[in-house]
């Protein structure tokens, strides 16, 4: 089996301001399916296992409280970091977790969540029409889609919204 192309999968997330770490985790086992990080000060196995534990506890809590619906996102805010967890489901018993850690002072939480949601949609959406004809499909473990299609990126900083001649 070919190596999981984590660099291809996580390329959009690495562009988020304040990026520290991203990993794809099997929700039932806590096993790391792919990861990338820009700083070596955060142990990926600990982050992956903790992510699986957090989702497991929240799932038990919501089922005990008879709350309908599944978990979509979990945001953990610390003094210096955001830990963003996105639940990706491929059907019953096939859940994956996308963990993205950001340095809090350098990141925009709303823009980061948007990028993570876009990435999760890209992982599971099938190409159609011209995109399907022009694409090369790269798959990782369990058939997860890891090929990337061009899309419009929104500006991630307020300065990017201003016309260049209006900047001082």
* pLDDT value, residue 97: 93
Q: Which of 83-92, 108-117, 118-127, 157-166 has the lowest mean pLDDT?
A: 157-166
* Percent of the chain predicted with pLDDT > 70: 71
Q: Give the whole-angstrom CA distance, residue 100 versus residue 22.
A: 4
pTM of the model: 0.70
pLDDT tens track for 59-69: 888 888 877 77
Neighbours of 100 (CB within 10 A): 24
Over residues 2-17, the pLDDT tens digits come to 445 777 888 888 999 9
pLDDT in the model for residue 167? 46
Instruction: Name the strand (E) or helix (H) holding 34.
Output: strand 32-37
Most confident of 25-34, 85-94, 127-136, 155-164: 25-34
The residues, ordered by sequence, that sit 6+ positions from 150 with a Cβ below 8 Å of its Cβ are none
Domains, the chain, ranges and CATH? 6-146 (3.30.450.30)
DSSP state of 90: S
pLDDT on residue 64: 81
CA-only gyration radius of the chain, Å: 17
- Listed residue (17, 50, 27, 47) closest to 35, CA to CA: 47
């Amino acid at each position: 089996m070919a190596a999981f192309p984590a660099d291809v999968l996580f390329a959009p997330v690495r562009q988020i301001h304040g990026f520290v770490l991203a990993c794809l985790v099997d929700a039932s086992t806590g096993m790391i399916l792919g990861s990338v990080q820009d700083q070596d000060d955060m142990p990926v196995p600990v982050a992956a296992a903790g992510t699986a534990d957090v989702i497991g506890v929240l799932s038990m809590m919501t089922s005990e409280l008879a709350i309908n619906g599944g978990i979509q996102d979990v945001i953990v805010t610390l003094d210096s970091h955001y830990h963003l967890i996105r639940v990706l489901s491929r059907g019953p018993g096939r859940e994956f977790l996308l963990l993205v850690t950001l340095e809090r002072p350098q990141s925009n939480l709303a823009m980061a969540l948007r990028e993570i949601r876009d990435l999760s949609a890209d992982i599971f959406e099938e190409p159609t029409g011209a995109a399907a004809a022009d694409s090369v499909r790269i798959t990782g473990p369990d058939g997860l889609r890891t090929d990337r299609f061009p899309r419009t990126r929104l500006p991630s900083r307020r300065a990017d919204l201003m016309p260049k001649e209006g900047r001082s």
